[in-house]
Amino acid sequence: MQRRAVAIRHVAFEDLGLLGPILEEHGYTVEYRDAGVEAVDVPPVRDANIVIVLGGPVGVYDVAVYPCLAEELRLLEYRCTRDLPTLGICLGAQLLAYCLGGDVRPMNTKEIGFGAVELSPEGARSPLVHLQGVPVLHWHGDQYSLPAGARRLASTELCPEQAFEYGSNIFALQFHPEWELRTFERWLIGHAVELAHAGIDPRDLRAAAQRVAPVSMPAGRQALASWIGTR
């Protein structure tokens, strides 16, 4: 029977990116569930072979305003307690951290742009080894504390918690290895207000994306394929 991957999406333009074709190449069917529109804490999602929780502009502390986040946390608690293959990216990583007992709070400044992450010894033995010294996309204004029992994989000077593993199958990434150049303009348009408030010129980000794509995208693909291939 074909394996199923379900992606929880918060905004349409922050999709699976490079990860979609990787999942299909590894024999998964791919299904999206839109948070707040479609139910996510239901058996078809709970019991999927892989669940991916993608990024978005809301925060874990916004549960009272966006009740769909509470449903996502229930789903992740189910997955984490059973050590079922689960990947969180950006907001997804923060939800995983919170679910596992970590704290999530706003940073003093946003981390938006391209830059390398520093790998821990555990990170250098993980799928993230493919990202050593490679610029990846950062786009977040929140940070999490490392949950008890989790293994720190990566950090940056601005944000010390960039990735962690928990158990055998829980993988959380604060940054975006799934980004791809052909759809990056959607990010610049979709986050236009955030960029303006942060004083970031979209032209600079666009130029940086074009410059780093030949290195960043293949490395991101390798890292993601390495994790998917061992599930």
Q: Is 176 a catalytic residue?
A: yes
* Cα-to-chain-centroid distance, residue 132: 18
User: Which one of 14, 68, 72, 90 is the catalytic residue?
Assistant: 90
Name the residue with tokens 């229930």: 74
User: Which one of 68, 176, 180, 191 is the catalytic residue?
Assistant: 176
Q: Is 159 a catalytic residue?
A: no
CB atoms < 10 A from the CB of 2, how many? 7
Task: Please name the residues in contact with 157: beta carbons below 8 A apart, sequence gap of 6 or more.
Answer: none
Task: Please name the residues in contact with 181: beta carbons below 8 A apart, sequence gap of 6 or more.
Answer: 209, 210, 213, 217
CB 113 within 8 A of CB 207: no
CB 35 within 8 A of CB 56: yes
Q: Write out the two tokens for 93.
A: 């990583």
CB 24 within 8 A of CB 88: no
CB atoms < 10 A from the CB of 60, how many? 22
Of 77, 85, 59, nearest in space to 144 by CA: 59
User: Which one of 72, 161, 178, 180 is the catalytic residue?
Assistant: 178
Q: Is 90 a catalytic residue?
A: yes
Active-site positions read: 90, 176, 178
